[in-house]
Amino acid sequence: MSKMALIFCYSNKSCKGQSDSMDTFPLDQKAVAEVTMKLPKFIECIIRVAREQIPGRDNLPKKLTSFLSTMHRHAKGGSRQDVVQLTADANVAKVVKKHLPIILRVYRAYAEEDISDAKSTMNLRELFQLVKDLKQMDSKFGISKLATAFCGANAAMATGDDGTWEDWDWELDYEEFQEILVRITDMKTKTAEGQLSEKVDSFLANVVGKLVIKQAPKTVV
């Protein structure tokens, strides 16, 4: 891809403003080899590559899902043992359990299949729509951070991990959905005071719990 160096360096640029654009970004070809990036910038780079690489007018979450699926079919797997399951914390688990009726209602409404199906899952596009409806997407929490939470929830909840990636890694089951709600809360309130369990309690009660479901929840068979 001829734009790869440009995408890589532009993604790594700090403090991009509304007036910034890749079209006007001054690329220093000699400096490309020296550029390093941390995980959030790497994820931004992947998202920008997906937007350029996947043809058509599909929305960005759909393009990203397709690109990630292709990428991990060809990439070497790595260990996910260092990813901590946030819902395993006793206080967080207690809060999640208290709000399970709310969580289940939202999951039923946004997951592609009904909850009675053991293979019922939520993909990145559906999650993106949910977080938009919750009005949680903003300049500080964009698609790159949502994708980070998505990958983290999948990795943290994986059992019997052998370092490989299968198609189901790009879908959230019900337990992974609980995990990602906690991760979104943690990422959005990182600098706020208070315990994570308290933040999750507030998020589930005051944000998720007050969501107006536009479509009727899917029927449990």
Q: What is the pLDDT along the chain (221 residues), one digit of tens a residue?
A: 457 777 778 777 777 666 677 777 777 766 666 667 777 888 888 888 888 877 676 688 888 887 887 776 555 444 454 478 999 999 999 999 999 999 999 998 998 654 555 557 888 888 999 999 999 998 888 888 888 888 888 888 765 444 444 444 568 889 999 999 999 999 999 888 899 999 999 999 999 999 987 654 444 43
Separation between Cα atoms, residue 84 and residue 56, nearest integer Å: 37
Tell me how far apart the alpha carbons of residues 108 and 121 are, in angstroms, rounded to a whole number.
10
Contact of 11 with 44, CB cutoff 8 Å: yes
Confidence (pTM)? 0.61
Distance between CA atoms of residues 190 and 188, nearest Å: 6
